[in-house]
Amino acid sequence: MCDHAPPCPRAADPDHHAARAVATHPEQGWSLLCNGVVTFDDTGEILPDGTVVDPHRPAVRKLAAAVG
């Protein structure tokens, strides 16, 4: 599917987010990558085989205030 040089990662590869966007719709919150993955602004995904990946936002770390 990808004709970039070097080729973009396949949808099954762990770094599939590094593929180039071939269509973007920021007003709707999604982009289509050249490997067939649809990514959403909330970090959810739809893989080419129809598998839905739930949003995977990084955990927010709480910083403890220093008591002095």
Q: Decide: helix, strand or coil at residue 9.
A: coil
Give the per-residue pLDDT at 6: 87
Q: Please, what is the average pLDDT of the chain?
A: 86
Residue found by looking up tokens 């920021």 in the block: 26
pTM for the model: 0.77
pLDDT, tens digit, for every residue of 31-43?
A: 999 999 999 999 9
Q: How far is CA 44 from CA 9, 24, 29, 57, 63, in A?
A: 18, 15, 10, 9, 27
Amino acid letter, residue 1:
M
pLDDT number for residue 59: 66
Domain spans in the chain, listed from the N-terminal domain onward: 18-53
Q: Pick from 59, 4, 7, 53: which is nearest to 30 by CA?
A: 53
CA distance 43 to 29: 10
